[in-house]
A = this chain, B = another copy of it.
Amino acid sequence: MFFEGSEKKVEVVVNSEVNLLSFERSFWEELVLNSKAQILSSIENSKTKAFLLSESSLFVWEDRFVLITCGQTTLVKAIEFFLSKIPSNNIASLIFQRKNEYFSHLQKSSFLDDVKALSEEIDGTAYRFGKMHEHHNFMYCSNKEYTPSVEDKTIELLMYEISPEASSFLNKTYEDPKIIRDFLQLEKLFPDYIIDDFAFKPQGYSVNAIKDDFYFTIHITPEEFNSYISFETNETNSSDKLQGLMEILKPETFDVVSFNNEEGISIPDHFHKRTKVTSTINLGYDVIFSHFYNKETVNDRPYILNIKESK
């Protein structure tokens, strides 16, 4: 059975008339259920709540939430639920993202289906960063006037085809998620974070972590033929952390998506930049989508599919 690791993500910002931290847990449970995911566990501090989900993560602050879901989830249904509860004049901005998928035919909806549904609720602009037949990132952004705060920076690092060693270590069943947390050196790379993680069966790993109003999250789909690991954070100086993860996981290709965070990451020498798509989107963020590949493995062999085990 194939599991689609590629995520959908939404970030919704509300104005000062709404305080999302005051919402009951039952509200977020219902929101998440609308996307066909469930809350597994949660952590919080005075500024941030973080929910670990059966398919990825939810983070909530006073003025915004970030919901990330993978697999065959229906994230747009969760957005529709939220928009049905909050008056539209209290919505300051909405960004919906969807990454290139392995098997889009197994998805409940296409990006264009999602955009059709969202555009009924909130006027917006739809972008594709990157080429259709290569790595890319779809984005739907509300058209309301909006000015991000200076500290509002995000970086997403999407790693594909990690090293055989990392894949082999991660592609096992672990009772204790700490084994994976240690493999990733999370407590060393991210000191002072409260960490909440989960090891899935038969394989897979998710972690949420918070410190003040900073967060990071990692989701691992370790299956050898399509390993995929996503990382994202709103920390401003995270370059060494991203590099630390890259050194442990050694992906063959990776994408970086940054919002007002160009300095984000320095690229190891053996990677070649395939594409760099830059734009100041309608919401005032400088968005950069870059895709890199390992230039040492340009010459390759075909992948032989296992017919019997294929879905």
**A: which residues have CB within 8 A of B?**
100, 102-105, 107, 110, 112, 115-116, 119, 125-129, 131-135, 139, 160-161, 226, 253, 272-279, 287, 289, 293, 298-305, 307, 310-311
CB distance from A256 to the nearest CB of B (A): 14
Please report the C-alpha to C-alpha distance between residue A303 and residue B111 in the assembled complex, in whole angstroms: 14
Please report the C-alpha to C-alpha distance between residue A102 and residue B110 in the assembled complex, in whole angstroms: 11
Closest to A297 in B: B275
Please report the C-alpha to C-alpha distance between residue A126 and residue B104 in the assembled complex, in whole angstroms: 20
Q: Taking A104-B104, A274-B298 as contacts, is the C-beta distance between A307 and B126 under 8 angstroms?
A: yes
Inside 8 A of A160's CB, which chain B residues have their CB?
131, 133
CB distance from A35 to the nearest CB of B (A): 19
Residue contacts A-B, CB under 8 angstroms, 30 given: A103-B104, A105-B107, A112-B305, A112-B310, A112-B311, A115-B305, A115-B310, A116-B307, A125-B304, A126-B305, A127-B303, A127-B304, A127-B305, A128-B305, A131-B253, A133-B134, A133-B135, A133-B160, A133-B253, A134-B135, A272-B272, A274-B274, A274-B298, A275-B298, A276-B299, A278-B299, A278-B300, A279-B301, A279-B302, A287-B302
Q: Taking A105-B105, A112-B310 as contacts, is the C-beta distance between A100 and B301 under 8 angstroms?
A: no
Q: Assembly of this chain: how many copies?
A: 2
Q: Taking A134-B133, A310-B116, A311-B112 as contacts, is the C-beta distance between A302 and B128 under 8 angstroms?
A: yes
Inside 8 A of A299's CB, which chain B residues have their CB?
276-278
Inside 8 A of A303's CB, which chain B residues have their CB?
127-128
CB distance from A310 to the nearest CB of B (A): 5
Please report the C-alpha to C-alpha distance between residue A146 and residue B38 in the assembled complex, in whole angstroms: 53
Please report the C-alpha to C-alpha distance between residue A279 and residue B104 in the assembled complex, in whole angstroms: 28
Please report the C-alpha to C-alpha distance between residue A160 and residue B131 in the assembled complex, in whole angstroms: 10
Inside 8 A of A298's CB, which chain B residues have their CB?
273-276
Inside 8 A of A293's CB, which chain B residues have their CB?
274
Which among A293, A298, A301 has the greatest number of chain B C-beta atoms within 10 A?
Answer: A298
Please report the C-alpha to C-alpha distance between residue A132 and residue B302 in the assembled complex, in whole angstroms: 11
